[in-house]
Amino acid sequence: MVWEKGFLELRDLIAGGEVSPREAVEGFFERFKETEPEVEAYITPLFEKALDRAKKLEKEKPRGKLWGVPLAVKDNILVEGEKTTCASRILENFVAPYNATVIERILLEGGIVIGKTNMDEFAMGSSTEYSYFKKTRNPWDRERVPGGSSGGSAVAVAVGSAPASLGSDTGGSIRQPASFCGVIGIKPTYGRVSRYGLVAFASSLDQIGVFARRTEDVALLLEAISGYDPKDSTSCKEPVPEFTERLKGGIGGLRIGLPREFFEFEMDRRVEEVFREFISKLKKEGARVREVSLPSVKYAIPAYYIIAPSEASSNLARYDGVKYGYRSAEFGNLLEMYSKTRDEGFGREVKRRIMLGTFALSAGYYDAYYLKAMRVRRLIYDDFMRAFDEVDLIACPTSPTLPFRIGERVEDPIRMYLSDVLTVPVNLAGLPGVSVPIGWIDGLPAGGQLIGKPFDEELLLKVSYVWEQIFPHYSKIPPL
């Protein structure tokens, strides 16, 4: 069946004339109709429009890396003429006036967008429970969360209603749901992929990345969306490697570092055991493993929850009911319109983070909180750089736990925030990180995280490719 094909495999079948773009879209549309009632991965399905684009592509000469291949997009990435809600009431009816740079690049390469996926509101969450519209469910156990904030994108790939998808990652929002859903998810180096057209949460941390079931699929889509963009001042003029051409090759002599401090955090014993087995198998392939120290990472969560809410407070100030988005129906004056619009339009978690950030940036507290957190951020980066003098990459579990139950952490924000204790340091340091499935525990997936030097996504993908030859996780489909 078409939906069982990988992203790259499907691209090659379309290029060879064995499958048409229309047949590809129809195949995933059928799978969407089978799975969506159980998992609720999408906010805005776009299959009908995708079929129209597929029919147009069939009349043209094939060109581009993604010709005729469908993919899903997280609903905080602008697609011109389509709703971009960020899973928030305040943007419930907002229609994007232009394409994000990543969407322009996908369309230029012949790709087809088949839908906008569910997420935590404004990407603030670790479970996709904070969406205004619906709760996406984990396909391995519908009573559990898929992770967040890119839960819909991870689930769409896991169940096969999309062969690949785009997400965004501010503190683990690609890697943690990839771990919870049993797929691969990569957050590139900050600046590798343009953020133009990504609705901002925390601008110094946000980065667009990719989900897929196979490494070659991740490599292909990442290759297509990467590269310098003059519209994004944080975009880097770093050459984009041909990731898909450089996957193969052994890992003999590869130096892997295990950070001592990561294993001092509270962690499910079973997750650690599966991770140790993962490392043991990489050692058999010729990798050399040693312990490294990242002493400042114990401050990562406190620093992150000052920096990210502070930037969110600033970025979300634009949603005031004046120019676009939701506006309260009843108000007496301009100030009341602002306050009632924001109170009614934002959910609890978003309001919580706005208040945290506003407090941290307020007069008399900026130096004590935000400035100190930024100094800690630099210490974390320096720790990583010292470790990379000794090793080629760093490895740890992606999440300290297995997917937790829906509702289990919603009323305990600190416990929810600690879901990202192993992923947040990577964002603070601006490094690339990938989560790969490393095993199943009682039917639930566990992920291993590989962290690389700046702009060394190539090595992470190479190790991921070697791993899936040993452990073909991509062949395991959730039992819907």
pLDDT average, residue stretch 420-440: 98
Q: Which of 149, 209, 148, 201 is nearest to 184 (CA)?
A: 209
pLDDT at 90: 98
The yes-or-no verdict on residue 430 having pLDDT over 90 is: yes
Q: Is 362 a catalytic residue?
A: no
In a domain, 348, yes or no: no
- Which class for 475: exposed (0-12), middle (13-18), buried (19 or more C-beta within 10 A)? exposed
Task: Please tell me the distance from the alpha carbon of residue 331 to that of residue 345, in angstroms, as a whole number.
Answer: 14
**In which band, very low, low, confident or very high, does the pLDDT at 480 lie, cut at 50, 70 and 90?**
confident
**In which band, very low, low, confident or very high, does the pLDDT at 177 lie, cut at 50, 70 and 90?**
very high
pLDDT average, residue stretch 239-265: 96
The yes-or-no verdict on residue 364 having pLDDT over 90 is: no
pLDDT average, residue stretch 330-351: 96
pLDDT at 416: 96
In a domain, 13, yes or no: yes
**In which band, very low, low, confident or very high, does the pLDDT at 129 lie, cut at 50, 70 and 90?**
very high
Single-letter code of the amino acid located at 126? S
Task: Please tell me the distance from the alpha carbon of residue 414 to that of residue 376, in angstroms, as a whole number.
Answer: 20
Concatenate the DSSP letters of all residues of 203-264 into one string: TTT-EEEEEESSHHHHHHHHHHHBS--TT-TT--------GGGG--S--TT-EEEEEGGGGG
Q: Could you say which of 5, 65, 74, 453 is catalytic?
A: 74
Q: Enumerate residues 6+ apart whose C-beta is below 8 A from 42.
A: 32, 36, 72, 115, 116, 117, 118, 152, 156, 161
pLDDT averaged over every residue in the chain: 97
- Pull the structure tokens for residue 413: 């924000």
pLDDT at 80: 98
- Pull the structure tokens for residue 474: 């991509």
The yes-or-no verdict on residue 462 having pLDDT over 90 is: yes
In a domain, 59, yes or no: yes
Q: Enumerate residues 6+ apart whose C-beta is below 8 A from 351.
A: 342, 343
Give the domain range for residue 149: 2-254+391-475
In a domain, 69, yes or no: yes
Q: Could you say which of 127, 149, 161, 310 is catalytic?
A: 149
**In which band, very low, low, confident or very high, does the pLDDT at 445 lie, cut at 50, 70 and 90?**
very high
pLDDT at 386: 98
pLDDT at 144: 98
In a domain, 376, yes or no: no
pLDDT average, residue stretch 335-356: 97
Task: Please tell me the distance from the alpha carbon of residue 280 to that of residue 448, in angstroms, as a whole number.
Answer: 13
pLDDT average, residue stretch 87-115: 98
Q: Which of 117, 108, 179 is nearest to 150 (CA)?
A: 117
In a domain, 52, yes or no: yes
Q: Could you say which of 150, 173, 235, 419 is catalytic?
A: 173
Q: Is 74 a catalytic residue?
A: yes
In a domain, 210, yes or no: yes
The predicted-structure confidence for 288-302, as pLDDT tens digits, reads as follows: 999 999 999 999 999
Here the CATH number for the domain that contains residue 189 is 3.90.1300.10
Q: Is 173 a catalytic residue?
A: yes
pLDDT at 215: 98
Per cent of the chain over pLDDT 90 is 98
Q: Enumerate residues 6+ apart whose C-beta is below 8 A from 439.
A: 274, 277, 278, 445, 446, 471
In a domain, 16, yes or no: yes
The yes-or-no verdict on residue 61 having pLDDT over 90 is: no
pLDDT average, residue stretch 358-379: 94
The yes-or-no verdict on residue 363 having pLDDT over 90 is: no
In the chain, how many domains are there?
1
pTM tops 0.95, yes or no: yes
> 187 and 195 in contact (C-beta within 8 Å)?
no
Measured over the CA atoms of residue 101, residue 102, residue 105 and residue 110, the dihedral's sign is negative
pLDDT average, residue stretch 448-474: 98
